[in-house]
Amino acid sequence: MSFREKSAWITFVLLLAFGIYFGEVAAHMLDPTRPHTNYLQLFVLLVVAIVVLEIITHAVIAFRSPHEAQTPIDERERLIELRSTRPAFFVLLVGAFLSVGTIHMGASTWLLAHCVLLAIWLAELTRYGSQLYHYRRGA
């Protein structure tokens, strides 16, 4: 497995962990009597944890294969990145339109912001998931 494929796996898994935040938001929306969560605190905590883990895990895989880590991105890897951007953009576009749609359904600013955040998260998951698919498929 190449350095960039490992990197994509790490980012994909860490991005999945951000689902904890949306799980909390969804749980609160489904059960308003649930004890209030400090969303800002949870959001900052998760972002910081993900960034720190990204740095540590990337340092570890770069340490294990330093030569590969320093090799510039080649044409196949660039193609994989480009191919993965297209479905991710589609997800982002649909998410953005649906988020705007929530305004017409009387949604609050808070809900709109979370819909946009969810669209960004799903788009990033799609991007890295698609990268992994293309790396596994060989092209």
Partner 1 sequence: MAPEVSASPISNQIRRLRFEHQEMTQQALAERIGVTRQTVNAIELGKYSPSLEVAFRIAAVFAQPLEAVFQYRETLSPRRRG
Binding footprint of partner 1 on the chain (CB under 8 A)? 1-5, 68, 71-72, 74-77, 135, 137-139
CB of 3 or CB of 21, closer to partner 1? 3
Residues 3/66, Cβ–Cβ less than 8 Å? no
What is the C-alpha separation between 91 and 87, in angstroms, rounded? 6
Residues 75/62, Cβ–Cβ less than 8 Å? no
Rounded least distance, CB 73 to partner 1, Å:
9
What is the C-alpha separation between 94 and 85, in angstroms, rounded? 14
CB of 1 or CB of 113, closer to partner 1? 1
CB of 2 or CB of 102, closer to partner 1? 2
Rounded least distance, CB 84 to partner 1, Å:
15
